[in-house]
Amino acid sequence: MRIPGVAIITSALGSLIERPFRTALTMLGIIFGVIAVFVSLSLGEGGKERIRENLDSVSARTISISPNWTGRSSRQRPWRPFTENDLLEIQSLNGVYAATGGLDSTYTVVSEASDWSTNVRGIDTSYLKAQELVMDRGIPISDFEIQAKSAVAVIGSSAARSLFPNQDPVGQRVKIENIPFRIIGLTKEKGGESWRGRDEDNFILIPRTTGRARLFGDHRLARQQVRSITIVGENQGVLKQIEDDIDRIMRRSRGLTPDEPPDYRIFNFSANRQAFADTMRTVSLVILALGGVSLIVGGVGVMNIMLANVTERTREIGLRKALGARRSDILLQFLTEAILLTVISGIIGLILGYFISQTVADMDQMKIKYSWTVIMLAFGASFVTGIISGFIPAFNASRLDPVEALRNE
C-alpha cells in the first residue's frame, strides 16, 4: 500500500507536533545557521555593491603626498615642504583630474557675533574640485583673487553656523590674526567627519598666496611652500602611473638618488579602501563559517531526533510494513519529516535573518543587498542539511524487519 504524498506530509507534521519541545530545540541549530548564512551573504553583497558604487568616486581616486616626519635626521636632511613648482609639475601629468596644494593652520577667527577656532586653509582654484566641495551660496575663490592676494574667504557650513548664527555669512567680515577677510561664498554641507576625526565643514578657505604672505609665511628651506598635495586621478587605471610619476618628480625636485629613502609619503586612498574591503570579506567569511558550523550542529540534532523517532515508532513501522508499505514508503516518510523540520527552520531563519540584517545595517550604517541568490543559498543550505541528516535514520527505518518490529515493546 503506497501512502499518498499529502498523507505523508500530514503524518510527518503530526509526528513533529506530537513532540513540540524536542522539535523546537532541534530547529534552533538550523535557524541560527540560516540566520548566520543569510546575514553574512546579505552584508557581503551589500559591501561589494557599495565598493563598486564608490570605486570611481573622487575619494577612491585620491592620492596624497606629505613630508615624511619619521626616520629623519634634522642635521642631515631637515624637514621641508613642497613648492608651487612641484604642484605645477604634478598638475601637468597625464591622467590627473585635479591636483591641489595644502597650506593650513588652526586659528581663532573673530566675527561681530562670535569667535571660533577653525582650520584656515590656503587654496588654489583646483581645491573645490579635488575635495568634492560644492558652493551653496556666493562665488568660489578665483585666479584673479589668488594673483592679487586678496583678503577674501569661502566658509564651511559648521564654521558659518558658529560665527554667524542665524545669519547669511556671505558678505560678512571676519578677522584672522587681526587681519580682516570678506566672506564671498559658503560651501554646501558635506556632513560627517574626516578620517582624522575632524568636522568636514569646519574650515575657512582663503587664497594660498594671501595666506602665505599674511598668515603662514614661507618655510626657511622652501620658497612658495606647499605643505601637502592632493591629486585625483581621472580613473582607477591611471593611479599607479601617477604614483610613479610623482615619485620621479619628487626625487628630482628634492635631490634624491634612486637608492636614497624618500623624505615624503605617497598615500593611495584606493589601496586603503581595498584593505577595508578585504577586511569586510574576511569578516563575512568568518560569519559564514560560523553559520556552516551551526548548520552542521543543527544537522546532527536533526539526525538525533530522527533516530529517536525511529526507535520510538518501531512498532508503527512494523505495522505499516505488515499492511503492505514498501521500504521506499518508509524511507520517504521519515525523510519527509527531516526535510519538513529543516524547511520550517529555514523559513523562520530567513525571516529572522532579514530583521537582524536590517538592524545591523542601521546601527553601523552598512549597506545590505538582498537577492534570490542569497535567499536560495541560505534556504538551500538548510534543505540540503535536512536531506543529509535525515537519510540515515530514514534508511535504517526502511530496513527494519516487520516481524521483529512488531515484537518491539
Q: What is the pLDDT of residue 123?
A: 94
Which three-class secondary structure state does DSSP give residue 54?
helix
Beta strand spans in 124-243 (E): 135-138, 152-155, 173-176, 179-187, 203-207, 225-226, 228-233
Tell me, what's the pLDDT at 407? 56
CB contact at 8 A, 302 and 294: no
Query: Can you give the length of the chain in residues?
Result: 409
User: What is the Cα–Cα distance from 81 to 67, expressed in whole angstroms?
Assistant: 6
Closest alpha carbon to 16 in 329, 274, 333: 333
pLDDT at 239: 87
> Residue 392 is placed in which grid cell?
540515515
Neighbours of 225 (CB within 10 A): 21
Q: Would you state the pLDDT for residue 3? A: 46
Which set of grid coordinates corresponds to residue 60? 577612491
Tell me, what's the pLDDT at 254? 86
Q: Would you kindly state where each structural domain of the chain is located, as residue ranges? A: 5-54+274-407, 80-262
The single-letter DSSP state of residue 219 is: B
Burial 74-111 (b: 16+ CB within 10 A, else e): eeeeeeebbbbebbebbbebebbbbbbbbbbeebebbb
Average pLDDT per consecutive 10 residues, the chain (409 residues; last block may be shorter): 58 69 76 79 72 66 81 56 91 93 91 92 93 93 95 95 93 94 94 64 94 80 80 87 92 86 82 60 67 68 69 66 69 76 84 83 67 75 74 68 56
Residue-level pLDDT at 156: 95
